[in-house]
Structure 1
Amino acid sequence: MNKKIINIVFISVLFLTGCSSGVKYLDSNDSKKYTSIGLDYHDIEEAANQNVQSLLQSKYIKNLSTAKKPKVLAISDVINDTMQDFNTEELTRKITRDMRNSGKFTLTMAMSGSGGSTDKMLNQAREARKNDEFNQYTVQEKGNLIAPELSLSGKIVQKNTKVGSKQRVDYYFLLTLTDIKTGLVVWDNEVNIIKIGSNKSVAW
């Protein structure tokens, strides 16, 4: 058997092995059966939902006139002070999506802290003002970006405690909404997610 045929046979075996590895798709509800002591999709979803409900039921929101334009919101720093490696934007974008759907907020992508991201195309498109290859009538004029009125910031904290042969892990999701003009806090909330497992469980 020549070398070319051997390689083809080897690749075919790898392909068939991969196909029979037992990997399958899970419905998001069914995936709760396979949770760990660390943070997962359901924890982020729960923390986001609870924080949004707290915000939308707050006195600040109830006092916002529906006749006024939506408040412009920027995502500021959200510190991940846990042993989990995840992007905090997973949390903030779920929250700001529901905030926008309420009709009382709109999100700016012109500026953000560590808890969000900016759209690089905003600045890149404005660099076209210096490039004669672009029709200058189609380039964005100066002074059109809208500055944020509110800032969403937060911190996620993890605390591990041994309880006999078990390990308890507390996660604190702390979020704050600040009026940028005055610096005053208009809303803040804390969501706690508590898990317990074997001391052998690893929470990172």
Structure 2
Amino acid sequence: MSKVIVALVGIVFFSACNNGPEYVDSADSRSYASMGLDYHDIESVVEKSVDSLLSSGYVQNIKQPKVLVISDIINDTMQNVDVEQLSRKITRNMRNSGKFKLSLAISGTGTSSDKMIDSVRKQTRGNEEFDQYSVIEKGQLKGAQLSLSGKIWQKNVKVNGKQRTDYFFLLTLVDLATGEVVWDDEANIIKVGSNKSVSW
């Protein structure tokens, strides 16, 4: 009897282990898609938007790298979208083109400015504990020339007994000297699922 109990316990134990978490390759994870925004959606938006930007006439005519700052990126969806992750993915690809340089001296809500840029100046200038010849001099920060802003929103509708969710990603690049929009783009993600599916 005791052997039977031990065997049953072993079966239950190993069954529980087999139901544990597992790694999923990002390339194969589409089968786990939901009505919400996921990794593939963000990657798709970044690719479409950056391709549109880099192929624009404005960017094609840039001769020297422009200093870029990230302004506000508004998330007007029911999703917990990490707007900083989105903005940094986009600006990383922009920098890799050799046309842009990203400054974190100042920023809007789309990313976090690097507080140490300001702190290192305040804490070391005139402080006798620091070699003043190695302290950063005034006037070294580069002024921003361009600003990247954006907005994400969604619309939910029911179609033929199913739920359809449309996501819209609007990105805008502005010349800070003139206030002119030099590029903008709208990328869309459309998902359809059962009425039992939720997008929040």
TM-score by length of 1: 0.87
Q: What are the equivalent positions in structure 2 for 1:9-88 lying under 5 Å apart? A: 21-65=19-63, 68=64, 70-88=65-83
1:72 touches 1:148 (CA, 8 Å); kept in 2? Answer: yes
Rounded to whole Å, the distance in 1 between the matches of 2:16 and 2:117 is 43
- In structure 1, the partner of 2:91 is 96
Q: Which runs of 4+ in 1 moved over 3 A?
A: 16-21
- In structure 2, the partner of 1:143 is 139
Choose 32-41 or 136-145, whichever is displaced more: 136-145
2:126 touches 2:132 (CA, 8 Å); kept in 1? Answer: no
Kindly provide the amino acid, as one letter, of the partner of residue 74 in structure 2: I
Kindly provide the amino acid, as one letter, of the partner of residue 113 in structure 2: T
Kindly provide the amino acid, as one letter, of the partner of residue 127 in structure 2: N
- In structure 2, the partner of 1:7 is none
Rounded to whole Å, the distance in 1 between the matches of 2:181 and 2:163 is 35
**Cα deviations across residues 12-67 of structure 1 (Å, max 9, x unaligned)?**
xxxx99865421111111111101000011101100100000001111112222xx
1:151 touches 1:179 (CA, 8 Å); kept in 2? Answer: yes
Secondary structure in 2 aligned to 1:74?
strand
TM-score by length of 2: 0.88
Rounded to whole Å, the distance in 1 between the matches of 2:187 and 2:125 is 46
Match of 2:186 among 185, 190, 197: 190
Kindly provide the amino acid, as one letter, of the partner of residue 111 in structure 2: G
Rounded to whole Å, the distance in 2 between the matches of 1:20 and 1:121 is 47
> Identity over aligned residues, as a percent?
61
- In structure 2, the partner of 1:110 is 105
Unaligned runs of 5+ in 1: 1-15
CA change 1:165–1:64 in 2 (3 A) is same
Rounded to whole Å, the distance in 1 between the matches of 2:60 and 2:74 is 28
Kindly provide the amino acid, as one letter, of the partner of residue 128 in structure 2: D
Kindly provide the amino acid, as one letter, of the partner of residue 157 in structure 1: W
CA change 1:74–1:17 in 2 (3 A) is farther
Q: How many residues align?
A: 186
Rounded to whole Å, the distance in 2 between the matches of 1:18 and 1:190 is 46
